[in-house]
């Protein structure tokens, strides 16, 4: 049975699905979901690019920041071990780059590290040991759930944007939620508007004071708040580092994004609501990414409500510059030759405004660590819209 058939059967049995339920199936169905069927979805042969796809530089810079975090914890604790937890770890490519850099640049940090990879896709988990290669000996655990107690750091690159969003539309008759139904005449999936699907959705809207004007659409992701709170609660002591694209709530739920931020990525092409009817996310469930921009205000508030302290929210550009990105490239490759050119091109892609550098934000939180002056937070509040 195809995923399209699975979804049709669900709709015929129980009625139209809230868009969040549809997206959850499209992305994470245990056997047929977009993310669960493959160990890797990004890169030149995939549907989209992430910072990890540009080479090992991104992981090496993260290793520098994580090593500093380890030293801060080590200086005030008798326990010298360091739990390094990557969430949405995929096949372990980013963890491998972090470990490789630490092994070369910071052997003491490398020796103290216990790596934990959290990944929902069994296909991806099955390839992690091979991907880690000589660093597989550092892998303490691999599973679909967060370790219950973490002394160290939890980090994730582009996790929250891949959680299934609820889609909302403000009409002349009030706020409605988007559902996915089957058009019996054509057999195609179509959108229908209906009442809010749960008290949880209503509570999120009320608690966040989200107000839309007639004609506007928007997405909310209560699961993002739950994930952040759970991650912070898992931290006995340490840091949470999240890198993702999004906006503060005041911008996300404004005229600037009056059409919402839902989009799909397929074969390096982004498509959104302007790309036709039916919208692209209803055409081939399980064959393309479905994503929405992250509510950065929600992330920060959720972390602080769970007991963390915000240490910095800033553009990826400034985060990586604070970690010595330009000096790292010169140190590793010099000024001339093909390796130097490749590194400079990777650095440009990581830093350039309008690309990954400004669309992606680094959000750093600490729990029971005070307010350390982290290198990655040197620019602290340098964030663009």
CATH number at 366 reads 3.40.50.12710
DSSP string, 114-125: EEEEE-S-HHHH
Q: Are strands 82-87 and 174-182 parallel, antiparallel or unpaired?
A: unpaired
152 and 89 part of one domain: yes
- Which string of b and e fits 313-325 if b means at least 16 CB within 10 Å? bbbbbbbbbbbbb
At residue 254, φ and ψ (nearest 5 deg) are -140, 180
Total tally of structural domains belonging to the chain? 2
Do 20 and 79 fall within a single domain? no
| CA separation for the pair 268, 272 (Å, rounded) | 13
How would you write the pLDDT of the chain (385 residues) with one tens digit per residue?
Answer: 899 999 999 999 999 999 999 999 999 999 999 888 865 555 455 555 566 766 788 899 999 999 999 999 998 777 789 999 999 999 999 999 999 999 999 999 999 999 999 999 999 999 999 999 999 999 999 999 999 999 999 999 999 999 999 999 999 999 999 999 999 888 899 999 999 999 999 999 999 999 999 999 999 999 999 999 999 999 999 999 999 999 999 999 999 999 999 988 765 456 566 555 678 889 889 888 899 999 999 999 999 999 999 999 999 899 989 988 776 655 555 555 545 556 556 555 666 666 655 688 999 999 999 999 999 998 765 555 5
Distances from the Cα of 241 to the Cα of 75, 76, 248, angstroms: 20, 20, 17
Whether 67 and 118 share a structural domain:
yes
Tell me the CA end-to-end span of the chain in Å, nearest whole number.
43
Tell me, what's the pLDDT at 1?
85
- Going along the chain, which residue ranges are E strands? 17-18, 82-87, 113-118, 139-143, 150-157, 166-171, 174-182, 189-194, 217-220, 235-247, 263-266, 269-272, 289-291, 294-295, 309-315, 360-367
Specify whether 18 is located in the same domain as 92: no
Q: Are strands 263-266 and 289-291 parallel, antiparallel or unpaired?
A: antiparallel
Q: Is residue 44 part of a domain?
A: no
Q: Are residues 282 and 215 in the same domain?
A: yes
The pair of structure tokens assigned to 114 is 């216990």
Give yes or no: residues 58 and 138 share one domain.
yes
Cβ–Cβ < 8 Å for 121, 35: yes
Q: Note whether 88 and 139 are same-domain residues.
A: yes
82 in a structural domain: yes
Among residues 241, 269, 289, which one ends one of the domains?
A: 289
Q: Is residue 45 part of a domain?
A: no
Three-class secondary structure of residue 188 per DSSP: coil
Instruction: Tell me which residue range forms the domain holding 129.
Output: 51-160+224-250+293-377
| pLDDT at 80 (0 to 100) | 81
Residues 6 or more apart in contact with residue 196 via CB below 8 angstroms? 175, 176, 177, 202, 205
Q: How deeply is 274 buried, as exposed, middle or buried, from its count of CB atoms within 10 A (0-12, 13-18, 19+)? A: exposed
Contact 98, 84 (CB under 8 A): yes
State how far the alpha carbon of 21 is from the alpha carbons of 16, 56, 111, 223, in Å.
Answer: 10, 36, 43, 12
**145 and 236 belong to one structural domain:** yes
Dihedral Cα 7, 12, 18, 20, nearest 10 deg: -10
């Amino acid at each position: 049975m195809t995923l399209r058939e699975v979804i049709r059967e669900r709709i015929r049995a129980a009625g139209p699905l809230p868009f969040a339920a549809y997206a959850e199936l499209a992305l994470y169905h245990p056997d047929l979901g977009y993310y669960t069927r493959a160990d890797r979805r990004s890169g030149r042969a995939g549907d989209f690019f992430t910072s990890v796809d540009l080479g090992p530089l991104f992981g090496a810079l993260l290793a520098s920041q994580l090593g500093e975090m380890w030293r801060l914890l080590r200086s005030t604790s008798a326990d010298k071990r360091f739990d390094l937890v990557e969430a949405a770890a995929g096949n372990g490519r980013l963890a491998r780059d972090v470990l490789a850099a630490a092994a070369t640049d910071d052997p003491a940090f490398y020796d103290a590290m216990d790596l934990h990879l959290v990944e929902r896709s069994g296909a991806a988990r099955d390839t992690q040991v091979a991907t880690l290669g000589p660093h597989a000996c550092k892998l303490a655990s691999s599973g679909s759930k967060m370790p219950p107690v973490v002394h160290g750091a939890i980090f994730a690159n582009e996790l929250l944007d891949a959680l299934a969003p609820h889609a909302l539309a403000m009409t002349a008759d009030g706020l409605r939620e988007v559902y996915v139904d089957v058009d019996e005449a054509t057999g195609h999936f179509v959108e229908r508007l209906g009442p809010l699907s749960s008290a949880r959705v209503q509570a999120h809207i009320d608690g966040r004071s989200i107000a839309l004007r007639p004609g506007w659409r928007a997405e909310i992701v209560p699961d993002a708040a739950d994930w952040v709170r759970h991650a912070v609660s898992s931290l006995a002591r340490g840091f949470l580092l999240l890198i993702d694209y999004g906006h503060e709530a005041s911008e996300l739920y404004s005229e600037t994004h009056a059409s919402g931020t839902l989009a799909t990525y397929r074969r390096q092409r982004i498509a959104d609501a302007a790309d036709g009817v039916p919208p692209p996310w209803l055409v081939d469930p399980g064959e393309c990414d479905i994503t929405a921009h992250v509510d950065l205000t929600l992330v920060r508030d959720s972390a602080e409500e769970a007991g963390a302290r915000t240490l910095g929210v800033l553009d990826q550009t400034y985060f990586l510059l604070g970690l010595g990105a330009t000096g790292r490239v010169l140190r590793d490759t010099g000024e001339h030759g093909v390796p130097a050119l490749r590194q400079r091109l990777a650095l440009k892609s990581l830093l350039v405004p309008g690309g990954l550098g400004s669309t992606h934000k680094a959000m750093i939180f600490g729990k029971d660590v005070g307010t350390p002056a982290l290198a990655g937070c040197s620019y602290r509040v340098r964030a663009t819209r």
